[in-house]
């Protein structure tokens, strides 16, 4: 993946070379020196239509009095969205060069009584009202934010779909548009990006589908028009720009688990006691927290133990990482 300056992976700024990206950089290195590099055509520049804010209200159960919200400009400029490049600054730049996230159809299917293909704005009307929740966000790379999402509980979509009794998992698939997304013409990750939850996790009160942040529709770089927000799990579980949600019997294969099975598990619950093979998960760098004050201890289930610990009783969390 290259941007306009044909910047090389070895001269990206420090903060753009992230642990998850290391996996892919090794492969990129092989490609550059082993097989030659094809130029990446840039997308035409088109302006994204401005849209209005949400009539939402803050859910008082998810206010998070004790922590500071991450500034909006950081939430919308420091991103992981590998479809638009491995650097943190690339999604903002490259996902806004003509990629259309409106209109957008979401497919709800699999083992359910009410499968449908539905325009995302129609879906929001069916599952509304939209509420705001301030959620902690902990990336597996050991950095964190606090983000005010606008959206609705995933369980409302589950109710709408009416899964059949043999449903044990929910599979989430991000957009797939290789014609407009250069990275998806390559093999950095198995595209489209897929994720999964158990049906009990999907029904948990914390599992959230975000359609906005800071009271505005999601920006492309944050996963417009609809993405998961699962605050007790590492960020990679919260798949962006969802195109398909399916009810399935078998545990779905997921992008990062396929890419690095020893590093990125299916459950990916935030856990300071289980280190990543290449780094500690005991603490995290708070984005926007300043150079000296930026580190804080990581909490079990990212601070949401009360809401989710019951889902994992009797499970070996070292094995099921």
Q: Which positions touch ligand MTE (CB under 6 A)?
A: 20, 79-83, 137, 139, 174, 193, 222-223, 235-236, 238-241
Residue 86 site contact among Mo ion, ligand MTE, none (CB < 5 to 8 Å, cut-off depends on kind)? none
Question: Would you say 111 or 224 has its CB closer to ligand MTE?
Answer: 224
Residue choice 62, 78, 236, 256 for contact with Mo ion (CB under 5 A): 236
Residue 70 site contact among Mo ion, ligand MTE, none (CB < 5 to 8 Å, cut-off depends on kind)? none
Rounded to a whole number of angstroms, the minimum distance from the CB of residue 80 to ligand MTE is: 4
Percent of the chain as helix, strand, coil, to the nearest 5:
25, 25, 50
133-141, 155-163, 292-300, 313-321 -> range binding Mo ion (CB under 5 A) = 133-141
Longest dimension (CA), the chain: 55
Q: Which residue shows structure tokens 């020893």?
A: 262
Give the CA distances from residue 179 to residues 38, 40, 182, in Å, rounded to whole numbers and listed in that order. Answer: 16, 12, 7
Question: By the 8 A CB rule, do 146 and 64 touch?
Answer: yes
Residue 321 site contact among Mo ion, ligand MTE, none (CB < 5 to 8 Å, cut-off depends on kind)? none
Question: Would you say 88 or 124 has its CB closer to Mo ion?
Answer: 88
Question: Would you say 163 or 240 has its CB closer to ligand MTE?
Answer: 240
Beta carbons within 10 angstroms of residue 184's beta carbon:
21
Residue 167 site contact among Mo ion, ligand MTE, none (CB < 5 to 8 Å, cut-off depends on kind)? none
Q: Which residue shows structure tokens 């999964």?
A: 196
Question: Would you say 163 or 269 has its CB closer to ligand MTE?
Answer: 269
Residue 83 site contact among ligand MTE, Mo ion, none (CB < 5 to 8 Å, cut-off depends on kind)? ligand MTE
Question: Dihedral of the CA atoms 109, 192, 178, 5 (nearest 10)?
Answer: 150
Rounded to a whole number of angstroms, the minimum distance from the CB of residue 234 to ligand MTE is: 7
> Which among 154, 180, 148 has a CA at the least distance from the CA of 239?
154
Say what angle helices 154-161 and 120-127 make with each other, to 10 degrees: 100
Rounded to a whole number of angstroms, the minimum distance from the CB of residue 109 to ligand MTE is: 19
131, β-bridge pairs: 57, 151
Rg (CA), the chain: 19
Rounded to a whole number of angstroms, the minimum distance from the CB of residue 313 to ligand MTE is: 27
Rounded to a whole number of angstroms, the minimum distance from the CB of residue 20 to ligand MTE is: 6
Question: By the 8 A CB rule, do 212 and 56 touch?
Answer: yes
Which tokens go with 300?
């079990």
**Is 80 an interacting residue with respect to Mo ion (CB under 5 A)?**
yes
Rounded to a whole number of angstroms, the minimum distance from the CB of residue 239 to ligand MTE is: 5
């Amino acid at each position: 993946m290259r941007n306009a300056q044909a910047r090389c992976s070895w001269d990206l700024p420090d903060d753009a070379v992230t642990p998850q990206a290391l996996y892919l950089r090794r492969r990129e290195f092989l490609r550059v020196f082993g097989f030659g590099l094809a130029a990446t055509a840039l997308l035409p520049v088109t302006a994204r239509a401005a849209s209005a804010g949400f009539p939402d209200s803050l859910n008082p159960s998810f206010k998070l009095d004790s922590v500071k919200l991450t500034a909006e400009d950081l939430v919308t400029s420091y991103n992981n969205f590998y479809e638009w490049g491995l650097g943190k600054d690339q999604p903002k730049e490259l996902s806004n060069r003509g990629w259309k996230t409106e209109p957008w159809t979401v497919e709800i299917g699999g083992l359910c009584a009410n499968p449908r293909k539905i325009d995302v704005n129609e879906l929001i009307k069916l599952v509304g009202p939209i509420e705001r929740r301030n959620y902690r966000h902990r990336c597996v790379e050991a950095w964190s934010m606090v983000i005010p999402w606008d959206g609705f509980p995933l369980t409302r979509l589950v109710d709408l779909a009416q899964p059949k009794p043999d449903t044990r998992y929910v599979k989430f698939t991000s957009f797939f548009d290789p014609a407009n997304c250069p990275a998806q013409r390559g093999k950095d990750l198995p595209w489209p990006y897929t994720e999964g939850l158990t049906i009990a996790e999907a029904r948990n009160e914390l599992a959230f589908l975000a359609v906005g942040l800071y009271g505005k529709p999601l920006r492309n770089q944050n996963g417009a028009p609809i993405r998961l927000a699962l605050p007790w799990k590492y960020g990679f579980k919260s798949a962006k720009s969802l195109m398909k949600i399916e009810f399935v019997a078998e545990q779905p294969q997921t992008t990062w688990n396929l890419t690095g099975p020893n590093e990125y598990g299916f459950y990916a619950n935030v856990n300071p006691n289980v280190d990543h093979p290449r780094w500690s998960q005991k603490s995290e760098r708070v984005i926007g927290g300043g150079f000296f004050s930026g580190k804080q201890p990581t909490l079990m289930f990212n601070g949401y133990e009360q809401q989710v610990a019951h889902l994992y009783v009797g499970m070996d969390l070292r094995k099921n990482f």
